[in-house]
Amino acid sequence: AKKFDEAIEQYTKAIKLDPKDATYPANRANVYLKMEKWAEAEKDCDAALKLKKDHAKVSAQTNIIAFGSQCFS
């Protein structure tokens, strides 16, 4: 869990430094997915898609969020 928390912290810093890069919220969403924090992951996916509408990684993540939030919440 500590590694996940560190990753979240680093991606949060990166988002603040470069808020127009969709990579950082997409990567932070991936960490949230691994932690099964569905709402946080969804928020970051939405942010990434606003920056880059055709982000393939984020599109896949939103499907995982939908499945995970139904099955594990």
Cα torsion angle, 6, 61, 39, 66, sign: negative
Identify which of 41, 71, 73 has the alpha carbon closest to the alpha carbon of residue 58. Answer: 41
Q: Tens of pLDDT along the chain (73 residues)? A: 789 999 999 999 999 999 999 999 999 999 999 999 999 999 999 999 899 888 777 777 777 777 677 676 5
Query: What span, in angstroms and rounded, lies between the C-alpha atoms of 49 and 3?
Result: 26
**Residue type (1 letter), 35:** M
CB 48 within 8 A of CB 19: no
